[in-house]
Amino acid sequence: MITEENLPEHQFWRLNRIQYPVYSLGPGKRIGIWVQGCSLKCRNCISSDLWNFNGGKEISLQYLAAQIFNISASFDGITVTGGEPFDQYFSLLNFCRIIKKLTDLNIMIYSGYTIEEIADNQMSEIFSQIDFLMDGRFETAQHSSDHMRGSRNQKFYVFHCGKPSFCSEDFSNAPWSVKTAEDGTVYLAGIPGPGEISEIELDLKKRGMRVEFQ
């Protein structure tokens, strides 16, 4: 049971949105969380609307964890992406601790930092709380078409007892998950291959829809 008393500091998290079900961005059926704010600013990032640390909305970890707990039995895992999850490290760490304590959900993080940078910046405590990590900046020149990663330099790790190893699992069979908002905006969760954004945008615009890639 989560209460205000047993939550550590960093009880709040600045997020852009939550979307589920998501069948891309990790293995199985997932809950997707997009954090707000990114200091890395990769060239040609498709999520530059998530760079601003004043955007999105601050959410209490207690509230968020309670919502996820209520639906957790229907999902395999949670994917945290963004934005840059490690730019709000302590909120991320506390969230992962709570989820691991309360549920059986696996946790995957997409980060622009490499695993070495995460360890060098004293953030490796999180390795004992997560199951998968896709790491590294988006590099336009290495744009990937596998729908698992944005660029080929990014590496996929699985964690056992806090220890990372390369993972060869292919979860790319569902490249997109779609959600429509009341204002007609279509949110696409997934990783576009080269040239796919303009094709999809054109197609949806013909149908009078606006699309947000995340």
Judged by CB under 6 A, which of 26, 56, 83, 164 binds ligand SF4? 83
Q: What are phi and psi of 18, to 5 degrees?
A: -125, 135
As given in the structure block, the two tokens for residue 32 are 């997707």
Q: Does 148 bind ligand SF4 (CB under 6 A)?
A: no
- Report the C-alpha dihedral over residues 180, 156, 144, 112, rounded to 10 degrees: 70
Q: CB under 6 A: which stretch of 55-63, 64-72, 80-88, 198-206 binds ligand SF4?
A: 80-88
Displacement of CA 175 from its chain's centroid (Å): 15
> Considering the complex, what minimum distance in angstroms separates the CB of residue 152 from ligand SF4?
14
Residues 45 and 81: beta-carbon distance below 8 Å: no
Is the Cβ of residue 30 or residue 137 nearer to ligand SF4 in the bound state? 137
- How many chain residues touch ligand SF4 (CB under 6 A)? 13
Q: How far is the CB of 143 from ligand SF4 (least distance, A)?
A: 12
Binding residues for ligand SF4 restricted to 19-48, rule: CB under 6 A:
38, 40-42, 45, 47
Q: How far is the CB of 7 from ligand SF4 (least distance, A)?
A: 27
Q: Which of 53, 81, 62, 57 is nearest to 3 (CA)?
A: 62
Say what the alpha-carbon torsion angle 115, 121, 123, 128 is, to the nearest 10 degrees: 50
Q: Is 137 in the site for ligand SF4 (CB under 6 A)?
A: yes
Q: Return the amino acid letter for 14.
A: R
List interacting residues with ligand SF4 (CB under 6 A). 38, 40-42, 45, 47, 50, 82-84, 112, 137-138
